[in-house]
Each structure stands twice: as C-alpha cells, then as structure tokens.
Chain A
C-alpha cells in the first residue's frame, strides 16, 4: 500500500531542501471523485497531495510544457521538476529520455506503485453505481476499491471497474524513479493484448464497418493529441496551415502549401488523421490510455495504438518505455526482420 503521508513528507522535504523547483502531483478536485493535477511550489502545500484510485491522469505531458516554458525563460531555474508517476507514466518518461527530449537530471521522479490494482475507469464506475454521486474512492488492504456514495460505502472488486489499460498493464510499478512509494509486486498477465481479440477476430468488412462507425464520430477536437505526452512536435502534419503567414505570403504560396489532412471532420480525413497519429506513435505509445479517456466522442483510439504495440512486440520483439538506451523502433532494424509480405 502506498502511504500517502510518506509521499507528502518526501515532497515537503525536497521542496524545503530546494532539490526541486516544484512538484507535479494530484490534489483534491472540485468534484469529489476526480483529483486534479497540482503544481506544488511551497513545502506547506505538500499537504494537499492525494493518491487514490481515481488518479488516472498521466502528468508527464506537463514535463513537455515545462521544457517549452523553460526554453523561453531568460534565466531558467535549472533545478529539476518533481513529478508523481504511476508505472505507465514512468514509461512515458523513459520514452522521452530515449528520444532525448528530456534529460534525466531535469526530473525528480516520485514513483507510486499500483501494486495489484490500478486506476479506475470513470465510465465503468458510473455504470456500476448507477450514476450516484461519489464522495470518496479508496483502496483497501485486499486491492478492492471502496466507493463512498451518499448511501454509504460499497466495496467493489478492482477488476470490475479497473480501467482497460490497467487490466493489460505491463508495468504496475514505476520502471524509473528516485523514490518509490508502495511495493514492487510481480504480476503476471496472461494476455496483454486481450482488448484487441474481439476486433481482430472479425472478418475484414466488419472490421471496416466497426472503424468507420467509430471514426465517423470524431469531431477533430484534437483532445487526444493535446493529452498525449508523446505528441510533442512543434508542428503537426494534421494542422492544415502550419507555416508562417506574413503580409508577403501570396495566395499562391498558401494554396500550394501541402495539406496532408484536411480539417473537415469527414470520414476520409478522420481516417487519415487517426492512422497518421497511430503510426507516429508506433513503438512510442506506452499505453497510458489518456487519448481514449480524453475523447469526448468515446472513440476507442487506444486500440489503434495497442495494435501497433502488439505488432512491434510480435514482429520486432520491441517493448516501448522500458529501456532509455534502446534505439527507437523505427530508427533501427535487424537483418532478420520479417519480409514475407514483400514481393
């Protein structure tokens, strides 16, 4: 079990010692269920930190923002940023380190172990408690979730409301950390790609109908891109105009600028956007499930990334986010890579 007091004590101490400029963690949100990201700068504010099964956000994308902010400062504070991470989030940090986007000394990692459980899925929970207002969520000793509603406490076995990503989780404790809270519990998962089975078993035309139905819902709000710690490109191919338009830019130049993906939320462009996003995350996605959680239209985006994760594992024996020294998936090769599809 993660002892919250230890986490607070450590946070207070590193802020007091000036070892970190601030700490990114979770604090109680406006809504009783969902914690909100917290940026703690003063040692006394470390009291606000919380850790509960509803801490599903992946905070590592704030490190990307931090890097951008720091680049603009004239006299940047060179101290690291403290960050509270779960197992999956720690893999995001590893990928950022692997891509040399971050330096190890820029982050002070407070790892929390999910042990045998994980975080809950809001939608599953809402269904389970039939839309009642949640006052509090807690872990108990035996890895069940205890949900407090106005009607009293209910104990729900973790597997019933656990997020999909946690059911298939490959890292239930942080892979990289400076301080670890909770224990490293070995957990065996029979099939880390179980969620794909249903769609993979469908015949081709039904797979197409499924994806068309799903991706037609997309309103191109780009929430999946904004929430993703790996989508840190300064310019994105999905943006129609991503070049500087000045007074001198002629209409011709604007017209000739390549538009890879149109903005209109129509089927073909939605496919182009989501397929490009999936392929750009191949071997980088660490399955934090944030894209799917942030999606206002409930598109199972995670499955596209999961599919590529599976292929990377099966074809190239590659696991993202475990070793900062390994070369990225698409910038390396082996002589024995499969080529049975090539004529």
Chain B
C-alpha cells in the first residue's frame, strides 16, 4: 500500500502567545499531527516575508504564521504590523498561482491549546489533497 502523503508545515509561532499555546497543547497531552515544525520567534511582527518565501523555497508544503490576538501583543502592536505584511504577501502568492491553502495565519493565545491543535489538524487536512509543494521549492 502506498504511503500516504504527509505534508511538512513550518510554523512561525510568537514566543508570548502561540508558542505558549502550542506548549499548553503539549503539556495537556492533546493529540495533533506531527507534521509541523515549530519555529519560535519573538513576535509575529518580526516574521519577514523573506522567512516565509524561504520556507517555501526549502520545500515546506505549508507555512503558518501565528501570533497574539489583536490587542494582546507583548510588544503592543507587533501583530498589527504582521497582519498588514502577511495580507500583502498572501495576495501576492495567490497572484502568482500558489494554492491559497498553503499559507495561513492565525491568532492563538497562550490559553488556546485546543485552538492550536484544531488549526494544525485542519491545516494538515487541507494540505493532504494538494500533494507536495513543488512550485516554489528549490530545484537547483
């Protein structure tokens, strides 16, 4: 039986909310797919579009950027900046023809372990039918 396609997801999680949220999911022993590679960043506002493009370039099948809910940012307004930047990148990636499901953003607070697992579950479910991401992956 052929092995089922397992997408690779790179998740940029902000240290203060989303990373703590994913930690909560872990310590509470909630189950969620192991397809995600979490990268803790100081703030979702510090995620440069270059990181996201680079993740796709190195073969990620999906990229998630997650930060604190609006108004909850540890640095007051980092997530507002992220929201603008990511919205623009989202539109650009869609314009060049990348599947919009491959790039997602979410707000996950430190108390939302359940929400985090749900987001990852949904993400993996959406990516599976798409197959591997070959459009932006490195082909040197």
What is A's interface to B at a CB cutoff of 8 Å?
Answer: 199-200, 204-212, 237, 260-262, 264, 266-269, 271-272, 275-276, 278-279, 282, 304, 307-308, 311-312, 315-316, 329-331, 333, 335, 337-339, 341-343
Contacts and interface: CB of A to CB of B under 8 A. Distances in A.
B105 interface: yes
A308 B92 contact: yes
A272 B138 CA distance: 9
A276 B94 CA distance: 15
Contacts of B96: 207-208, 211, 271, 275, 304
B140 interface: yes
A330 B84 contact: yes
A333 B83 contact: yes
B42 interface: no
B49 A279 contact: yes
Contacts of A335: 70, 80
Contact of A266 (B77, B84, B119, B139): B139
Interface in B25-64: 49-50, 53-54, 57
B136 A237 contact: no
A204 B104 CA distance: 18
A287 to B, nearest CB: 16
Contacts of B88: 279, 282, 308, 311-312, 315, 330
Contacts of A268: 57, 136-140
A219 to B, nearest CB: 16
A207 B137 CA distance: 17
Contacts of A333: 77, 80-81, 83-84
Interface string B76-108: 010011011111111111111111000011110
B91 A307 contact: yes
Most buried by B among A199, A304, A329, A342: A342
Given A330-B81, A343-B104, A266 B92 contact: no
A317 to B, nearest CB: 12
Q: Is the interface of B mostly helix, strand, loop or mixed?
A: helix
Given A260-B54, A279-B49, A271 B91 contact: no
Contact of B87 (A211, A212, A237, A315): A315
A342 B106 contact: yes
A315 B106 CA distance: 19
A204 B139 contact: no
Contacts of A266: 139-140
B74 interface: no
Given A268-B140, A269-B138, A330 B87 contact: no
A247 to B, nearest CB: 30
A337 to B, nearest CB: 6
A22 to B, nearest CB: 38
17 contacts: A206-B97, A207-B95, A207-B96, A208-B96, A208-B135, A268-B136, A269-B140, A271-B136, A311-B88, A311-B92, A315-B87, A330-B85, A333-B83, A339-B87, A341-B90, A341-B105, A343-B106
